[in-house]
Structure 1
Amino acid sequence: MLRRKMGNIGFESSVLLFGGAKLGSVTQDEADRSIAFALEHGVNHIDTAASYGDSEVRLGKWMPEIRKDVFLATKTAHRGWKEAKEEIYRSLTRLRTDTIDLLQLHAVGTIEELDKCMSAGGALEAALEAKEEGLVRHIGITGHGHSAPAVHLEALRRFAFETVLTPFNYYLYGLPEYRQSFDALVEETKRREVPLRVIKAVAKGPWAVGQTRNHATWYEPFDDQRTIDACVHYALSHEGIHGFASAGDIQLFPKIAAAVEKFGTMDDAEARALLAAIPEYGSPFGAPTSIA
Structure 2
Amino acid sequence: MLRRTIGRLNRETSVVMFGAASLGQVTQQEADASIRFAREHGVDHFDTAASYGDAEVRMGPIISGIRDDIFLATKTGQRSKQGAKEEIYRSLERMGVSSVDLLQLHAVGSMEELDRCTEKGGALEALLEAQQEGIVKAIGITGHGHEAPKVHLEALRRYPFATVLLPLNYFMYSLPEYREAFDALMEEAGKQQAAVRAIKAIAKAPWAVGAERPYATWYEPFDEQRVIDACVQFILSFPGLSGFATAGDIHLFPKIVDSVERFGDMGAEEAQRILSSVPGYTTVFGAPTSIA
TM-score by length of 2: 0.98
Looking at structure 1, the residues matched to 205 and 153 of structure 2 have their Cα atoms a distance apart, in angstroms, of 25
Match of 2:6 in 1: 6
Match of 2:21 in 1: 21
SS in 2 for 1:231: helix
The alpha-carbon deviation at position 279 of structure 1 amounts to: 2.2
Looking at structure 1, the residues matched to 136 and 254 of structure 2 have their Cα atoms a distance apart, in angstroms, of 30
Match of 1:48 in 2: 48
The alpha-carbon deviation at position 286 of structure 1 amounts to: 1.4
Q: Which amino acid aligns with 1:165?
A: L
Match of 1:257 in 2: 257
Match of 1:89 in 2: 89
Looking at structure 2, the residues matched to 157 and 287 of structure 1 have their Cα atoms a distance apart, in angstroms, of 26
Query: Contact (CA 8 Å) 1:146, 1:288: kept in 2 or not?
Result: no
Match of 2:34 in 1: 34
- Name structure 1 gaps, 5 residues minimum: none
Q: Which amino acid aligns with 1:38?
A: A
Match of 1:220 in 2: 220
Query: Contact (CA 8 Å) 2:64, 2:95: kept in 1 or not?
Result: no
CA-to-aligned-CA distance 1:225-273 (integer Å, 9 cap, x gap): 0000000110001232111000000000000000000000001000001
Match of 2:158 in 1: 158
Query: Contact (CA 8 Å) 1:144, 1:167: kept in 2 or not?
Result: yes
Q: Which amino acid aligns with 1:278?
A: V
Match of 1:186 in 2: 186
SS in 2 for 1:75: strand
Within-5 A mapping of 1:130-169: 130-169=130-169
CA-to-aligned-CA distance 1:36-55 (integer Å, 9 cap, x gap): 00000000000000000000
Looking at structure 2, the residues matched to 133 and 36 of structure 1 have their Cα atoms a distance apart, in angstroms, of 31
Q: Give the 4+ runs in structure 1 shifted more than 3 A.
A: none
SS in 1 for 2:217: coil
The alpha-carbon deviation at position 63 of structure 1 amounts to: 2.5
The alpha-carbon deviation at position 64 of structure 1 amounts to: 3.1
RMSD of equivalent CA atoms: 0.9
Query: Contact (CA 8 Å) 1:109, 1:145: kept in 2 or not?
Result: yes
Within-5 A mapping of 1:275-290: 275-288=275-288
Aligned length: 289
Q: Which amino acid aligns with 1:190?
A: G
CA-to-aligned-CA distance 1:65-98 (integer Å, 9 cap, x gap): 2101000000000000111000000001011111
Identity of matched residues, %? 62
Looking at structure 2, the residues matched to 74 and 239 of structure 1 have their Cα atoms a distance apart, in angstroms, of 24
CA-to-aligned-CA distance 1:198-230 (integer Å, 9 cap, x gap): 000000011111111110000100001000000
Match of 1:59 in 2: 59
Q: Which amino acid aligns with 1:59?
A: M
Q: Which amino acid aligns with 1:159?
A: Y
Q: Which moved more, 1:238-247 or 1:106-115?
A: 238-247
SS in 2 for 1:182: helix
Match of 1:103 in 2: 103
Q: Which amino acid aligns with 1:132?
A: Q
SS in 2 for 1:160: coil
TM-score by length of 1: 0.98
- Name structure 2 gaps, 5 residues minimum: none
Looking at structure 2, the residues matched to 288 and 136 of structure 1 have their Cα atoms a distance apart, in angstroms, of 38
Looking at structure 1, the residues matched to 227 and 216 of structure 2 have their Cα atoms a distance apart, in angstroms, of 19
Looking at structure 1, the residues matched to 241 and 65 of structure 2 have their Cα atoms a distance apart, in angstroms, of 30
CA-to-aligned-CA distance 1:8-35 (integer Å, 9 cap, x gap): 1011110000001000000000001100
Q: Which amino acid aligns with 1:123?
A: A
